[in-house]
Amino acid sequence: MSDCILDIRDVHKSFGSQSVLCGVTIKVERGRITVILGKSGTGKSVLFKTIMGLLKPDRGEILYEGSDVVKMSERELITMRRDIGYLFQDAALFDSLTVAENVAFPLEEMLGWKDRKKIAARVAEMLEIVDLPGSGEKYPAELSGGMRKRAGLARALATSPRIVLFDEPTTGLDPLLSANIDDLILKVNRTLGVTCLIISHDIPAAFHIADTIAFLNEGRIEVHGTPTDLRCTRHPTLRFFIDQATGVTPCNRPTTE
């Protein structure tokens, strides 16, 4: 089995005269945490939508487990999406459903589960994993921002995905809650072996949890490497962001091209 679960090759996407993705190329390693950093408006969310098959790129390939998402039929896309969990930026919980009902939703609608005991057991297992035991009967309005993120992650994990896409997972959270979410992502990755692909502009979080960091700028991945590599980058825009961030260990070796 290949170490690469997702292989994005020269992906371009424009909306009218506005070019958003201008040749994005990146490989996502199986079982690892990859963070794509970028400024607001650089196309991070558009990239996620192309990965999910919600948007068709103008050109390029998106290979998931060797199959090109761009060429998949709607039925093939539905099957592929069962392998992919998605944590929305605002968690996107259904307000009229309890937390337990939210987590159960993909089990019933995507996997077609009917056995109530089996569903309840899976929901309880997921809430335990995200440190929300006993919260199943609450409604989203009764949860804090951090708890809603956890509930959203429980739902994303319910179908046992191979990869989870995280859309700005710490946006809107205070530093303590952000750190808790970072630790939870590490826990999910290390204990469940789930591949994690994160889009973010949270520099300290990226350097804390990532195995690999990619910097998306001007529609392209312009820097790609380990956190240790990127601490010493000479890329001017990324260098500025790192220098302005707190909580990132400074480069302690001579910079190289």
Alpha carbon distance 140, 34 (integer Å)? 29
Q: According to the model, what pLDDT value does residue 108 have?
A: 94
User: For 27-47, what is each residue's pLDDT tens digit?
Assistant: 999 999 999 998 877 888 899
Does position 75 have pLDDT exceeding 70, yes or no?
yes
Q: According to the model, what pLDDT value does residue 241 have?
A: 86
Q: According to the model, what pLDDT value does residue 176 have?
A: 86
Q: Please state whether the predicted TM-score (pTM) of the whole model is above 0.85.
A: yes
Q: If pLDDT is split at 50, 70 and 90, which confidence band does 177 have? A: confident
Alpha carbon distance 203, 168 (integer Å)? 11
Q: What percent of the chain clears pLDDT 70, i.e. is strictly above it?
A: 96
Q: According to the model, what pLDDT value does residue 2 have?
A: 67
Instruction: Give the pLDDT mean for 168-192.
Output: 89
Q: According to the model, what pLDDT value does residue 19 have?
A: 93
**108 Cβ neighbours under 8 A, 6+ residues apart:** 114, 119
- Burial class for 3, CB neighbours closer than 10 Å (0-12, 13-18, 19+): exposed
Instruction: Give the pLDDT mean for 75-99.
Output: 90
- Structural domain boundaries of the chain? 93-160
Alpha carbon distance 100, 122 (integer Å)? 10
Instruction: Give the pLDDT mean for 121-128.
Output: 95
- Per the CB < 8 A criterion, the answer to whether 188 and 164 are in contact is yes
Q: According to the model, what pLDDT value does residue 246 have?
A: 67
Provide the mean pLDDT of the chain.
91
Q: According to the model, what pLDDT value does residue 255 have?
A: 45
Instruction: Give the pLDDT mean for 66-88.
Output: 93
Q: According to the model, what pLDDT value does residue 252 have?
A: 65
